[in-house]
Amino acid sequence: MATAHNHSHHEHTGDDLLTAARNALTAAGEQWTGMRESVFAELMRHDKPVSAYDIADNLSAARGKRVAPNSVYRILDLFVTNNLAMRVESANAFLANTHPGCEHDCIFLVCDECGEATHLDDDALSQALRGIAKAQNFSTNRPIVEIRGICGSCMA
């Protein structure tokens, strides 16, 4: 997953990302359980958006017992609500947020060939979208913008 920012974030990787996710979730008043840790660890292994079914299958194989996709979906929804993960709506798939707990709008460039989803943080675009909604007397929760097309690697 590529990420582009026009504002400052501390990007986490590896064990630091897992620790930051745990800290953000517990700071939000939620429990960090063994299953939640397993789901987040599996999510952060992927560079491209991954489905709850793929996560459930991988965890089932690793644990030697079935992990229900519905349980994974509930955990992923909790992660999205608490800014530990981002959902690529058009793919019904998820990406780990490399700066857990940081609330921002989701802007994705999604490649129809390879499935790569480049996450962008663009405060000007986010504020413009929120301003348009406000002018229509509409209260936003979290704008999500997805632009589908072909990435530079696939065009080459």
pLDDT top residue among 151 and 1: 151
Q: Is the pLDDT of residue 2 over 50?
A: no
Q: Is the pLDDT of residue 46 over 90?
A: yes
* pLDDT confidence bin for 14, thresholds 50/70/90: confident
Q: Is the pLDDT of residue 4 over 60?
A: no
pTM of the model: 0.81
Radius of gyration of the chain (CA): 16
Candidates 138, 149, 90, 142; CA nearest to 121 is 142
